[in-house]
Amino acid sequence: MSHRCGVRQAQKEKTRRALMDAALGLLEDQSLSSLGLREVTRAVGVAPAAFYRHFRDLSDLGVALVEESLGSLHHMIGGILAGQDGDEERIDATVEAVAEHVRRYPAHIRFIARERHGGVRAVREAIAAELDRFADEVANDFCPRLSAEDWSPEDVRMLAELYVDHMVMTATAFLEAQPDHPRLERRVADTARKQLMLISLGRRHWRDG
């Protein structure tokens, strides 16, 4: 009995994975709001009714893609914040980590870039929530140092959001430089480093007016 349950669960997970992969592939050239459920199930080779065993609707699938696309970044960013000393080292590590993530998961990044301001409310809200979590993590890292410099919690949070927004902008720029354009990628990386250094210099001289 347990073996049959295990096989059934494995098949269910395989079908769910196939639906997400098919949707991600179809979303390379269109938005989620224009995607049809039958397009997704046809690409997987299952009946439309089978879709509802895994997702309530396409927006529910979109939220799952958001969690997959951005969830893995939390560990990566946390490692950078904990493992690097000095602004230049952190900036270099951050830019390289974002570039590598785009190289590995271009379809996921394209999905986030398109749907962040797209037409599906649940997905927009899921992306905003994940980016808020990033900002919380960055703010928590900044807080001990900046509080000693008389930064208010509101200003620390503002700075964290600035870094997160820049990370998203940089990821999108790397995506547009893909694929196989190392010169363009280097240009994006150089620009991102300079912009982050400018933010860092502004931070050192910030005084709340």
Whether 174 has a pLDDT exceeding 90, the answer reads: yes
Kindly give, in sequence order, each residue whose CB lies less than 8 Å from that of residue 73, ignoring residues fewer than 6 positions away: 101, 134
* pLDDT score recorded for residue 132: 93
Under the banding of pLDDT at 50, 70 and 90, the label for residue 145 is: confident
Question: pLDDT tens, 37-78?
Answer: 999 999 999 999 999 999 999 999 999 999 999 887 777 776
> Which phi and psi (to 5°) does residue 171 adopt?
-60, -40
* pLDDT score recorded for residue 207: 61
Torsion, Cα of 78, 80, 81, 87 (10° steps) = -160
Question: pLDDT tens, 68-122?
Answer: 998 877 777 767 776 656 778 888 988 998 998 898 999 999 999 999 999 999 9
Q: What is the pTM of this model?
A: 0.88
pLDDT (average), residues 152-160: 91
Question: pLDDT tens, 186-204?
Answer: 999 999 999 999 998 888 8
Q: Give first-to-last CA distance, the chain, whole Å.
A: 69
Dist CA 165 CA 209 (whole Å): 23
Closest of 22, 27, 24 to residue 42, by C-alpha: 22
User: Hey, is 118 helix, strand or coil?
Assistant: coil
DSSP-derived secondary structure for 10-31? HHHHHHHHHHHHHHHHHTTSS-
179 prior amide bond cis, ω within 30: yes
The angle at the Cα of 23, spanning 21 to 29, to the nearest 5 degrees, equals 115
